[in-house]
Every structure is written in structure tokens, then in C-alpha cells.
Amino acid sequence: MKRVLRVGFLSLCSVILVFAIWGCDTLLTKAPLGLDTLESPFEGMSNALNATFIRGDENFDRVFTVRDGLGPIFNQPSCGTCHPGDGRGKGLTGLLTRFSRGADLLPLMGGPQLQDRAIPGVTPERLPPGVDTSLRLAPPVFGMGLIEAIPEETILNLADPNDRNGDGISGRVNMVEPADFVPPTEIGSGPGLRLGRFSRKSQVSSILQQVAGAYHQDMGVTSDFLPTENSHPQAGGTTAMGDQVADPEIPARIVLETVAYVRLLAPPRRGEITEEVRKGETLFMSMGCASCHVPSLRTGPSPVPQLSNVEARLYSDLLLHDLGPALADNRPDGEANGFEWRTTPLWGLRLVAENLGGTPFFLHDGRTSDLSEAIRLHGGEAEKTRRAFVGLSETDRGGVMVFLNSL
């Protein structure tokens, strides 16, 4: 209880500090990097917001070392390693393994995430025998502020778990327990179950929980929010073997600046809309793709003008859908079962290859670089749509690809 109160107090104070910083208009600005990038802030932000964005950007790209508190077990040494150019993961460097045994996240066995790297003198973690595993490719981090600003009722109103309209689409929400360190000032905080909207199975309800968890799980860096190192069951449960940096290794301020950076990352602009793109979009809609990949959701009020009451053209309903056996990981996550995934937003799709060295990676595990194959692997609720796509002429399938590559 004392730790919860202490962390809550520290996080709340740090939130107040960050917003106080945002209120100062005398700080430096950061010029946008361009319209075809995944790492630019929203246009028209105040000097203070741009200054906060810059600090968060530096945190995001910071490569941790042993002297900084990296590890002792970890996956990558920086946020940017998993999210190159703030886009989706790239091959092996962006892949994580989550594991459990059914709904048991196995915290005493190192779960729910495998840390497959370690600092010198420490053995990397190994998968326990007989566990359910799921490869996860790091998703893009741009546009998360818009996703956060979409009212819960908007997402809940899209859910149709019993398929009342008989269209074969039965999207549902993942109601999750927020982390106890998330203060009430944050969207997605407790008490009680809250709507999950982040990560591959919507198992996270707030950006703060996502970012603090990434520092802790992906890099082994403790903070005021998560001040205890990951346990290492293969080392007899020792948590800090080889790590001589006092915990917490970064203050709440660093985490909150990174949260602000992610919140203020703008999705890239849409590509040129040609006649061929329009034809492809018509096919996309007629096949039923937009039943899950909803083109636009409107945000609610936000203290950040760029996030307030605007259209978020993300092409997702942010709901869980059964995508069939070909894409199943057979591993539950919260209320999501082993066949369900959150509808992946499609915005920025045209820039995937450009931001990953020329080779795109699609689906939750990055198994294919062929967007057409990614569609063909859809099943379950998307089976009717998959068949419609396969049944198109080669020219029309190409038109759908042209449309998708304009997003």
C-alpha cells in the first residue's frame, strides 16, 4: 500500500510538472520533419508543447548502457530500436515473445515477456517448458494521442459481440485492470476495469502504462512507476544480479516526457488520391473491409487543441476480432482469446517500406512483406472479405493495393 501511494504521489506530481512546463510559451520549438515522416509532431503546436516533444524525442532515442541501468535482462537498449522511425518493428529487432500458460501470466517464471538479452555476466532468460507463446512485432507509436482521445462510448458503440446485425462481424472490447501507478489524470486509469485500446490485443488502457511498461520490460529500466527489476527465474529469482545502478533508474519525469512525445506524434498525411486510388477504395468498402477497418473515428475534448474534436483517420474500430486459425497465437491476453486481435490501424501504410530500409513487415508477427498475402491470411470474421478479395480480378486486386498504399 505504501508503494502504491508513493508511486501515485510521484506520478501525479510529475504529471503536474509536465503540464506546468507545457504552459510556458518561452521554450524552444521544433520544426516538423516533413509530411512523409512518422516522427513529426502535430502542426501548429505551442512552443511549450514543441519543447516537451523535443525532450521526449531525445528520451525515445536514448540508448541505455549498463552504466545507465540497462537490464540486467532486456530485449533492446532503446525505444527507437524496436520502433525505427517511430513506425512498426523491423524483423528480429522489433519482435518480442510474450508467454503464459492459459490465462496465467506466470510472473514467478519471468512472464509475461521473454527478455532474450542480458548485460555481461548475466544469462538471458529462457522460455519455461510447456508455455503458450506469441510473437509480437512492435506497432507504430504515431497517432497514439488521437487514439487515446477517442471517447470510450464511441468504441463501445461499435462493439457487436453477439453479431446482432448478422453481418458476421462481432467485434468486442477488452476490458482490463489498469496498473495501480496510473494516476486519475490519465485516460484509462482505474479504479475498476477500463477499456483497453493499446497494444496488439488491446490489453493496455493507457499510454502511461504502455510507456512505463516498455522501459521496464523491454529495456530493464526501472522508474518511479515500476521501481523493482524484473525477476530472473533462471538465476534463482535474483532481480539485480550484475546491475549496480540504484533503483529507480529513471525518474517519473523522463517517463512522462516520453508519454508526451508519443501522445504528440502526428500520423503521416495521406498520399495522393488518384482515380485509381478512388476505385481501390470503392472495392475496399464493397468487400466489407471497413466493417473492422473503420475509416475514421472522432476524438472528444482534449487539452491539446490538435487532439480535440478532430477526425482520426486510422482505419480501425479498435475492437477485438476473431481472425481465424492462420493468424491465431492460441494465447489469451486479458479478455482477448487466442484467435482475437485488435484491428490494426492502417494509417501510414504507404510509408512502411520507406521507414524500414525498403522491406515492409506486416501482421502481428511480421511474417510477410506481401500486403496481399497479409489479406489472404485473414479468416474467422474476415473470411467473407478474404474470399471477396481472392475472387477479384488481378487488376482489381492491384487497385485495392494502390488504395492501401495511399494511406
Concatenated DSSP letters of 197-248: -BSTTS-B--HHHHHHHHHHHHS---BSSS-SPPP-GGGTT-SSTT--SPSS
Q: What is the pLDDT of residue 225?
A: 98
Roughly how many angstroms between the first and final C-alpha of the chain, as a whole number? 47
**Percent of the chain scoring above 90 in pLDDT:** 75
List the domain boundaries for the chain.
2-263, 275-404
Alpha-carbon distance values, 188 to 175, 179, 203, 298, 304 (Å) = 10, 9, 11, 18, 17
The total number of residues shown for the chain amounts to 407
Q: What is the pLDDT of residue 241?
A: 61
Domain 275-404: CATH superfamily is Cytochrome c-like domain (1.10.760.10)
Residues 6+ away with beta carbon under 8 Å from 121:
241, 242
- Asked if 279 contacts 326 with a C-beta cutoff of 8 angstroms, the reply is no
User: How far, in Å, CA of 291 to CA of 407, rounded?
Assistant: 17
Is residue 328 over pLDDT 70? Answer: yes
Which three cell numbers, joined as nine digits, stand for 372?
Answer: 496481399
Residue 28 three-state SS: coil
- In a 13 Å sphere around the CA of 223, the CA atoms on its Cβ side amount to 25
Alpha-carbon distance values, 326 to 19, 232, 288, 322, 382 (Å) = 45, 33, 20, 11, 12
Instruction: Look up residue 156 and give its DSSP letter.
Output: H
Smallest Cα–Cα separation from 332: which of 98, 53, 150?
Answer: 98
Could you report the per-residue pLDDT of 361-372, keeping only the tens digit for each?
Answer: 999 999 999 999
- Among 45-59, 221-235, 294-308, name the one with the lowest average pLDDT: 221-235
Q: What is the pLDDT of residue 237?
A: 54
User: How far, in Å, CA of 403 to CA of 391, rounded?
Assistant: 18
Q: What's the longest Cα–Cα distance across the chain?
A: 64
Could you report the per-residue pLDDT of 143-200, keeping only the tens digit for each?
Answer: 999 999 999 999 999 999 999 989 999 999 999 999 999 999 999 998 999 999 999 9
Q: pLDDT class for 107, splitting at 50, 70, 90? A: confident
- Asked if 360 contacts 371 with a C-beta cutoff of 8 angstroms, the reply is yes
Smallest Cα–Cα separation from 186: which of 5, 18, 1, 6?
Answer: 18
Q: Average pLDDT for residues 285-304, to the nearest whole number?
A: 97
Residue 392 three-state SS: coil
- Asked if 291 contacts 160 with a C-beta cutoff of 8 angstroms, the reply is no
Q: Average pLDDT for residues 292-321, to the nearest whole number?
A: 98
Smallest Cα–Cα separation from 284: which of 368, 407, 159?
Answer: 407
Q: What is the pLDDT of residue 38?
A: 80
- Asked if 74 contacts 115 with a C-beta cutoff of 8 angstroms, the reply is yes
- In a 13 Å sphere around the CA of 23, the CA atoms on its Cβ side amount to 6
- Asked if 349 contacts 404 with a C-beta cutoff of 8 angstroms, the reply is yes
Q: pLDDT class for 353, splitting at 50, 70, 90? A: confident
Residue 179 three-state SS: coil
Is residue 113 over pLDDT 70? Answer: yes
Higher pLDDT: 296 or 19? It is 296
User: How far, in Å, CA of 170 to CA of 163, rounded?
Assistant: 5
- Asked if 380 contacts 258 with a C-beta cutoff of 8 angstroms, the reply is no
ω before 248 within 30° of 0 (cis)? yes
Helices (H), 320-393: 352-355, 371-376, 383-390
User: Residue 33 is which amino acid?
Assistant: L
The DSSP annotation for 282-338 comes to HHHHHTTGGGTS-S-EE----SSGGGSS-EE--S----EEE--TTT-----BTTB-T
Q: Mean pLDDT score of the chain, rounded to an integer?
A: 88
Q: Average pLDDT for residues 315-325, to the nearest whole number?
A: 98
Cβ neighbours, 10 Å, residue 77: 22
Q: pLDDT class for 32, splitting at 50, 70, 90? A: very low
